């Protein structure tokens, strides 16, 4: 990521106003705006499958799944950050006019060569500061695999799941409510090279 002089920083208000009229999704990191690059067809299929799998399991709960067009806001001492995760689950959002969420319990990102470092470093570090977050899941594109950062008290533990038979148990509610994310569902319609 590049840097900018303080006089070049954009306010949160100006960023959100610009997002309302922009044809390009942009992420915001402490006053600096970054245009998002387009993804591959595989990325779109995987993130869409993850959203659908979440939505189907949450239809009778007070939690709601959101796709890649809903921002999440992360508050920090360095300033506000707005990201567009590939999918997220929020359990306390009844306001349908909101353009971002503050309290996701689950965030999913699909890794790509161009975003891997950012998703596994800066975004991960930011997401894991969200008090409500219980799980951060990063999905590979080239193999059916997921890395899960799962809250355990005041820290996060890292787990790896691989193969189409893998199932990730994800806690989403305060009363121990869980859902299951099957990698076979997430990677439906994706072909992997076999050697």
Residue at 4 is within a domain: no
Read off the pLDDT band of 6 (50, 70, 90). Answer: very low
CA distance 164 to 153: 30
Instruction: Report residue 158 as tokens.
Output: 């890292």
Q: What pLDDT digit, counting tens, does each position of 132-158 carry?
A: 999 999 999 999 999 999 999 999 999
Residue at 11 is within a domain: no
Total domain count, the chain: 1
Residue at 12 is within a domain: no
Instruction: Report residue 121 as tokens.
Output: 């470093």
The pLDDT of residue 7 is above 50: no
| Domain CATH code at residue 182 | 3.90.1570.10
Most confident of 23-27, 126-130, 191-195: 126-130
Q: Which strand (E) or helix (H) includes residue 92?
A: none
Mark residue 20 as left, alpha or beta (left: phi above 0; alpha: psi -120 to 50; beta: remaining): alpha
The pTM assigned to this predicted structure is 0.91
pLDDT at 3: 36
Residue at 25 is within a domain: no
Q: Give the domain range for residue 150.
A: 39-71+83-186
Q: What pLDDT digit, counting tens, does each position of 75-122 carry?
A: 988 889 999 999 999 997 667 888 999 999 999 999 988 888 888 888
Residue at 47 is within a domain: yes
pLDDT at 89: 96
> Closest Cα partner for 71 from 58, 57, 59, 87?
87
Beta bridge partners of 161: 146
Beta bridge partners of 71: 100
Instruction: Report residue 54 as tokens.
Output: 């979440």
pLDDT at 1: 38
Q: What pLDDT digit, counting tens, does each position of 154-181 carry?
A: 999 999 999 999 999 998 877 778 899 9
Query: Long-range contact list for 170-178, CB < 8 A, 24+ apart?
Result: 170/106, 170/134, 170/135, 170/137, 171/105, 171/134, 171/135, 172/58, 172/61, 172/63, 172/89, 172/91, 172/105, 172/106, 172/134, 173/61, 173/62, 173/63, 173/91, 173/105, 177/61, 177/63
Residue at 3 is within a domain: no
77 compared with 184, residue with greater pLDDT? 184
pLDDT at 108: 97
Residue at 193 is within a domain: no
Alpha-carbon 47 to chain mean position: 10
């Amino acid at each position: 990521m590049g840097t900018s002089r303080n006089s070049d920083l954009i306010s949160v208000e100006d960023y959100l106003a610009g997002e309302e009229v922009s044809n390009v999704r942009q992420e915001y990191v402490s006053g600096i705006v970054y245009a998002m690059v387009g993804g591959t067809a595989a990325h779109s299929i995987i993130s869409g499958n993850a959203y659908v799998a979440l939505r189907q399991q949450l239809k009778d709960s007070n939690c709601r799944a959101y796709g890649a067009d809903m921002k999440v806001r992360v508050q920090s001492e360095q300033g506000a950050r707005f990201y567009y995760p590939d999918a997220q689950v929020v359990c306390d959002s009844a306001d349908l006019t909101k353009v971002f969420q503050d309290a996701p319990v689950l965030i999913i990102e699909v890794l790509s060569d161009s975003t891997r470092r950012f998703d596994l470093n800066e975004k991960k570090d930011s997401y894991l500061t969200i008090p409500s977050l219980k799980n951060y899941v990063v999905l590979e594109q080239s193999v059916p695999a997921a890395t899960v950062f799962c809250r355990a008290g005041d820290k996060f533990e890292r787990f790896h799941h691989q193969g189409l038979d893998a199932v990730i148990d994800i806690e989403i509610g305060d009363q121990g409510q869980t859902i299951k994310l099957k990698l076979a569902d997430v990677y439906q319609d994706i072909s992997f090279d076999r050697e």
